[in-house]
Amino acid sequence: MNSIRELLAAAAQLPADTATDAPLLLAHTLDKDRSWLYAWPEHCPAPEQLEHYQALLRRRLHGEPLAYLTGHKEFWSLQLRVTPDTLIPRPETELLVETALALPVKSTRAQVLDLGTGSGAIALALASERPGWQLTATDISKKALALAAQNAAQHSIHNICFVCSPWFQGLEADLRCHIILSNPPYVAEDDPHLQQDGLPHEPISALTAGADGLQDLRTIIGNAPGFLQPGGWLLVEHGMDQGTAVRQLFGLAGFRRIETRQDLEYRDRITLGCYSR
Ligand code: GLN
């Protein structure tokens, strides 16, 4: 009774999201990978493992995101620890990393700033790809920064300096970057999407930004020129319906070569621009 085969068959009857994630929760409980389950279908987990798995399954059924239950999420091939103190890194944010890596930045020791780093996903991905770059990663949340620093240590990444700061406020006034990038909160406060897809379990401060969702983007875009080298780049992630408004903000702040790019689902997802005084 309660062999892996039976547990998986029972889980397949659950609502779709939970049914899909059940094997991952079982593998996580047993501290194995998913393929192990299919190699040992007759194995019967110990009673306390069974209890733990069922508790996780119940939490998943109530909408808690998988990443908070397992405590990790993969981003840019890096296994990152995540907690409810930070947003769960999204695959579409990899576009920000990919675009930053393709910029015409000549310096091999470029200064790069990631604003609102959360779990550290963006800064860690860039730091791992460009060990010569000097990264600064900020967050207003001390808990988020501690987690990001832990993720950096886990991956033996040493070229990131973590600063507790609301956007630019806590930074050295003479910092001049080749690239500034951010995945800030950009959801409107009354967006019904906030009630779905596990978002109620994520930190609201990492998701919403004023009535139109643009409050933090305005602060970032408006202040970025003061922290950029001549010819430096700003890249921000935003909502799929914010492309026009964000390009306008870049224009007002004096950026050139302003461009919005789409994610793999053809939704406007990031905007970038170059600043030259
Ligand atoms: N893309 C996220 C979502 O709507 C929001 C992330 C953010 O606000 N930066 O699910």
Tell me the pLDDT tens digit for each residue of 19-77: 999 999 999 999 999 999 999 999 999 999 999 999 999 999 999 999 999 999 999 99
Question: Is the C-beta atom of 187 inside 6 A of ligand 1?
Answer: yes
Q: What is the model's pLDDT at position 55?
A: 97
120: amino acid identity, one letter = G
Q: How far is the CA of 174 from the centre of ligand 1 (A)?
A: 31
> For residues 221 and 249, is the Cβ–Cβ distance under 8 A?
yes
* Secondary structure class of 207 (helix, strand, coil): coil
**Residue 177: partners with Cβ closer than 8 Å, 6 or more residues away:** 110, 111, 112, 113, 136, 227, 228, 229, 232
Question: Is the C-beta atom of 163 inside 6 A of ligand 1?
Answer: no
Mutational test site, ligand 1, from 183, 214, 215, 235, max ligand atoms within 8 Å of CB: 183
Q: What is the model's pLDDT at position 1?
A: 64
Atom of ligand 1 nearest to the CA of 93: 1
Portions of the chain given CATH number 3.40.50.150: 72-275
Question: Is the C-beta atom of 183 inside 6 A of ligand 1?
Answer: yes
Question: Is the C-beta atom of 86 inside 6 A of ligand 1?
Answer: no
Nearest CA-CA partner of 86 in 32, 38, 144, 33: 144
Atom of ligand 1 nearest to the CA of 199: 10
Q: How far is the CA of 27 from the centre of ligand 1 (A)?
A: 28
**Residue 247: partners with Cβ closer than 8 Å, 6 or more residues away:** 258, 260, 271
The pTM of this model reads: 0.94
Taking the C-alpha atoms of residue 176 and residue 229, their distance in angstroms, rounded to an integer, is: 5
Question: Is the C-beta atom of 185 inside 6 A of ligand 1?
Answer: yes
Domain 72-275 belongs in CATH node 3.30.200.20: no
Q: How far is the CA of 2 from the centre of ligand 1 (A)?
A: 39
Residue 231, pLDDT above cutoff 70: yes
Q: How far is the CA of 207 from the centre of ligand 1 (A)?
A: 6
Q: What is the model's pLDDT at position 276?
A: 87
For residues 120 and 1, the model is more confident at 120
Q: What angle do CA 153, 65, 63 make, to 5 degrees?
A: 160
| Residue minimizing CA distance to atom 4 of ligand 1 | 187
**Mean pLDDT, to the nearest integer, of 133-148?**
97
| Residue minimizing CA distance to atom 7 of ligand 1 | 185
The two beta strands, 177-182 and 228-237, are parallel
146: amino acid identity, one letter = A
> For residues 161 and 137, is the Cβ–Cβ distance under 8 A?
yes
| Residue minimizing CA distance to atom 10 of ligand 1 | 199
- The total of other beta-carbon atoms located within 10 Å of residue 102's CB is 8
Residue 249, pLDDT above cutoff 90: yes
Question: Is the C-beta atom of 239 inside 6 A of ligand 1?
Answer: no
* Digit-coded pLDDT (tens) for 182-213: 999 999 999 999 999 899 999 999 999 999 99
